[in-house]
Structures are given as structure tokens and as C-alpha cells.
Structure 1
């Protein structure tokens, strides 16, 4: 391998609020920069995460922002650098650049177009099939999504590599003790008003509980790209509390204090919150879908996401302690399997082979 050739990373994620996709990019970069790999991060100038930009020695280029920067200024810059490999970690990539490695986190825009704004799904349906066809290599975060990519885009699986998400170090290093809270006991849900997170069915299931002594705390924000669900907290006989824009420390505290994480998503590419919750000794109630069976088959309580009664039954199992607590050995096994360090080594080996 020629170590003198630099691998460039599309750093547009530094200009975006952190969701699961951006978290993957940040944590993977943390590990990639520790390896014997010559990498360089480049981004637009409108950086939100200035501390990370400085840490990664990010180079800001051009004057445009968003997709315009990605489609116009980024490939122009790379062609001036001799057409190096470009590692794209957050779904999109330059259409007119042939040396791209792309990362697809899920195919929700195809499988559930009703969740997205017209502009978003139109753009993704135009862009993604073309970038997949031109990509030097495709990365994705689960075998479930790999199978979907093969099915919907008629791709040979040999060029698609699975790199699992992992647990950020800040969560791994946190104390695992459960938090004792003098306030009302609560369950935790994720995703705010994002329709894929199935919050309406969670609310309906909570409403059916005979025991109404539990609050529901919901983490997340409304996203402009999604068609959001409407919620009226006054309709429910339990306290409904929303948490938006919280930091990792606060998130860990919420996991530690919760009776369980209720996460009955209709569709996911991976699903990081269950891994975070387990690490805080917080039980998890998950939708009985293929990807969660792949990742969490023996550590979760499963429920049909379309059945309010089934979700209610899952909640009642937690209330009645009808679940198996996660052992330290099992958590260590999960942390080893779902590791950004492992992901970085896979990416490094695969990308180096292209040079």
C-alpha cells in the first residue's frame, strides 16, 4: 500500500446536529485518526462542532453549504488533489466523483417514503441510486441493511461491507450504577415526533396500563425532513415530559433512572439507543423487527410495533420484573462486538485495499 496517498473524509457532518448518523461519523473518525492511516477531514465553513473540527484538524473549504458544497465544491477540491479516495460516512456523497466510498445507514426513504418530506425523498431517490452505482465500495451498519441494498439496488454483496455502530467511549467509561430518583418512576422513549419511532403506539400502550404511577420521558426533536406526528400531552393520564438537545451526561442519567427504554421503531438500520441503555443497566423493550433480532436477539423484550396491546404487555413485563437482567459478561461481549474501534479497523483495511 502507498502510505503517501491521503484518504479524505467528507466532514459535512460537522455542520449538522448530532443524531445517530452523525454520531457514527464522529466516533468512527475518533478511531480512524488513531490508526496508521493518512486521513484528512474537509468540511464547509459553517461548522457547528468547532471543538471536534479543531481536534480532527479539519480543513474548511469553499463558500457554499449543505448539499451544494458536497456536490460542487468538494469534488472540485478533490480533483485538484489528484482524485484521492473520499470516505463518506453519512449517506450522501458527490454524484460526479468516482473515487467515493459511501456509507448507507438505512433505506427508510425507500421502505417508508411517507415519513419524509417530499423534497427530501425526491432528492434521496434521485441521488442514492446513482451514487451506489458509481461507488468504489459501500459500507453499512447491519446485515439487515446490507440485504436491503442488495435487494433494492441489485448489488453484489461482495462490495458491501458491514461496520457496526458502537458505544461511544463516554458511555463505556460511565459508572453503571442505577440512579435512585426521588421523583416519579418513568419509562424512556426516543425519537421525539419522528414517525419511525412509533411514539403514538407507545403513548397508547402507556395509557392502557392499570398502574398509572409511571411517567413517560421522551428524548428527541422534530426534524424538518420528517413528517412529524402530532401529540397533545393533555390527553394522557400520565405525565409526558419531553427532553430536547440534551448532552451525553444528561442522557446517561436518564437511562440510569428509567424503568426501561421503550423503543418499538417500525424500521431501523441499527439502533444505537438500545446499546446505550443496556450499558446503563436499563432494560430495553424493542420492536420485533429483523434488525433488532440480528443485534439484540437475547438481551431484549420484544413487542409487535403495530400492536398497542403487545407493547403494553412488554411494559408490564418490566414492571413485574419478568425479564432477565443483563450480566456484566454479556455487556462486555456486546461492547466488544459493537465497537467503533473494530469498525475503524474494518474501514481502514477495506479502504487501504482500494489505494
Structure 2
């Protein structure tokens, strides 16, 4: 008799090739928890050096000059499986097996000038046909699901919200908080780094140091006077969250926005913008402002720096709220979608 969880899954592993952030985190956290036999095969065009959390998966590398060519011409040829998961949102035009795609955001369409050309081409050229051909579509937030329906006509019956999450690794400790303002994410214009830097410079002295944690993205001139850590491993990242006096995430556009949720889980008081899924998971547990509203951002930062009881309250609310967003649950939802797609 066939085991109830027997399903051959192949995953487009391109998000796992660079240092993990955003889509790469989502891909790894879910891939390592998929309840399928045999373990999922992660295929890629280059070596995946960071296999933390995905050790049980199988791997295949077919080297290609770039990820787009590999996805369109190599992946369909090697996709000998029951179903493909495309965590980048797109699938090969010539794919012959069922597929599930995950939508994280549409920023390459709405804000093409804030992305590399290769990113725009890899998504915008193939997204419409990919959504037409995918048997099931996952979206990381209700906001992105609504956009998929509105802009591409994706039927509601094919959509499922599979949110990002946290696990027990991200939790508070009993240590003393530091005296710095923390941002975590790729350092690029759409993350609102310039907004944050401008507001930080306007704070009354003595102002806490501003720490930017993440790899520089494209088109970003790092502001003067701030501390930049670059990419850090999970252990260092957790400590930064736990010790932050406040965490600020001023993004102009998000599909989900994982760092504020991780910060909440670690007990950092959070200020973030109302974009993507952030209002869905943070309303009432963080201070929220509109994207690009520098006056409101500054007022929220000044208020939270001065109000210790409010920081304690947001810390407790954030910890409790984060318990409702767990990677185990998201992986369970994705497992169900993959089985449904394979069955047709």
C-alpha cells in the first residue's frame, strides 16, 4: 500500500542560492518541514551552501549561466516528479507536471525602477502565464491574494494564504536591552532606509545609534553615521532583536515583511508601516504608520523611545501575537496544496 504522504516534490531552489532573506527564508523554512516521502528535491543552477534547516532534503545542481535560463530550459527537463513548487512565483513555460506557485509581492510590477533588470525580467515576463498554468496558488498575505485576483484574475478557489512565520528559535530572553534602534532587511530603496535615516538624523540629541542589519541591495547609498552589520547568521540576528531598544521597519512596499514578526517574537517593541501583511499580523501589537509619512514615523520613534511602559506593553503584545504565525502551520498548508495540485 502506498504511504499516505508519498509524493515526489521538486522545488525551484533559486531563492536558496544567495544569502537568505525574504523569499529564501520562506523557501527554506517550508521546504525543511514538508511532510512528504521521499524528502523534497531542491534543484538549482548553482550550489546552495547554506543548508541549515533543509538537511533532510535532497539536492541537485545543474549549472547554468543564470537562474532565468536554468528555470526555463533546464528545470522542465529534469522535473521528474509528481509536482513542482515554484517559491519565486513563476514556473517554466515548458513544464509538463502540475505546479504550485507562491506569491510574495508584485513590487517588480508596481515599482520596476527599484529592482534590478534581471529581477524584473525573471518575474514580469513569466508571471501571467505561470498563474494561468499553476494548479494552486499560495500567497503570503491576504493583501497579495487580493492583488492576484484583481490584477491577474486568479480564481479564489485556487488561492490559499500561506503566511511567513517564526519558530521557537526566535524568542525573548531575560537580558538587558541595548540602546540602539534596529532595522533588519535588504538595504535597498523600497525598504525605506532613506526615510529612516532622515528621521534618525532629526531626533533630539543624544539619539540612540541606528543599526542597519542586512546585505546592501542595488541602488543604495548607505547613509552616513549609521552602523551597518551586513548579513548575519541566525544566532547573531536573534541577539540583535533581543537587545534592540526599538525595532523600526519603514518599508514603502511589502508582500509580507518577515523581520517585524521576528522582532516581535524576540520581544523587541516594533514600529512598522502599514503595507503588505504587516497590518494583518501586527495591528494592536506594534505602532503602525503609513509608508512615506516621515512626520508620523518620527513621532512614533520619539514616543516609543521616551515611553518605557509602552515599550513593555508592546513587547508583551508582540510576543503573544507572534505565536499565531508559525512555520509548522505554513508548511502543513503547503503540503496540502502540493497534494491537491498533484491530484488535479
Q: Which residue number in structure 2 is paired with residue 320 of structure 1?
A: 306
Distance change (3 Å), C-alpha of 1:154 and 1:263 = same
Normalized against structure 1, the TM-score is what?
0.86
Distance 2:266 2:74 in 1: 43
Distance in 1, Cα, partners of 2:223 & 2:261: 30
Q: Deviations over 1:257-304 (max 9, x none)?
A: 211111011111111111111122110001133532212111011123
Q: CA separation of 1:123/1:11 partners in 2, compared to 1, >3 Å: closer, same or farther?
A: closer
Structure 1 residue 162 corresponds to structure 2 residue 169: no
**1-side partners of 2:207 and 2:73: how far apart?**
55
Q: Could you say which residue in structure 1 is the equivalent of 2:322?
A: 334
Q: Distance in 2 between matches of 1:168 and 1:67?
A: 32
Whether contact under 8 Å (1:166, 1:340) holds in the other structure is: yes
Which runs of no fewer than 5 residues in structure 1 stay unpaired?
234-238
Matched, 1:194 2:181: no
CA contact (8 A) 1:188 1:258 kept: yes
1:350 aligns with 2:341: no
In the other structure, the counterpart of 1:246 is 232
8 Å contact kept, 2:180–2:244 = yes
SS at match of 2:91: coil
1:97-136 equivalences under 5 Å are 97-98=95-96, 99-136=98-135
Distance 1:281 1:178, change over 3 A: farther
Q: Distance in 2 between matches of 1:109 and 1:133?
A: 19
Task: Supply the distance in 2 between the matched residues of 1:252 and 1:24 (Cα, whole angstroms).
Answer: 17
Is there any run of 5+ residues in structure 2 with no aligned partner, and where?
none
Report if aligned partners of 1:259, 1:318 keep a CA contact under 8 Å in 2.
no
C-alpha distance after superposition, 1:198-223 (max 9, x if no partner): 11111111122123331100012223
Counterpart position of 2:49: 49
* Superposition CA RMSD, Å: 2.4
User: Is the partner of 1:323 in helix, strand or coil?
Assistant: helix
User: What corresponds to 1:256 in structure 2?
Assistant: 242
**Pairing partner for 2:270 from 266, 278, 284:** 284
Question: Could you tell me how far apart the structure 2 residues matched to 1:96 and 1:41 are?
Answer: 19
Identify the range of structure 1 (284-293 vs 104-113) with the bigger mean alpha-carbon deviation.
284-293
What TM-score do you get using the length of structure 2 for normalisation?
Answer: 0.89
Name the residue aligned to 1:299: 285
Q: Separation in 2 of the partners of 1:330 and 1:250?
A: 20
Q: What is aligned with 1:274?
A: 260
Partner of 1:177: 174
How big is the shift at 1:320? 1.5
Q: Residues of 1 paired with 2:274 and 2:139: CA distance?
A: 21
User: 1:179: how far off?
Assistant: 3.4
Q: How does 1:78-93 map to 2 (within 5 A)?
A: 78=79, 81=80, 84-93=82-91
Report the equivalent of 2:213. Answer: 219
Number of paired residues? 336
Q: CA contact under 8 A between 1:9 and 1:39: conserved in structure 2? A: no
Q: Aligned match of 2:8 in 3, 6, 10?
A: 6
For residues 146-168 of structure 1, the C-alpha deviation after alignment (integer angstroms, 9 at most, x for no partner) is 00111111221111110111114
Partners in 2 of 1:48 and 1:351 — Cα distance?
Answer: 23
Determine the C-alpha separation between the residues in 2 that align with 1:189 and 1:114.
23
Per the TM alignment, residue 326 of structure 1 is displaced from its structure 2 partner at its CA by 3.9
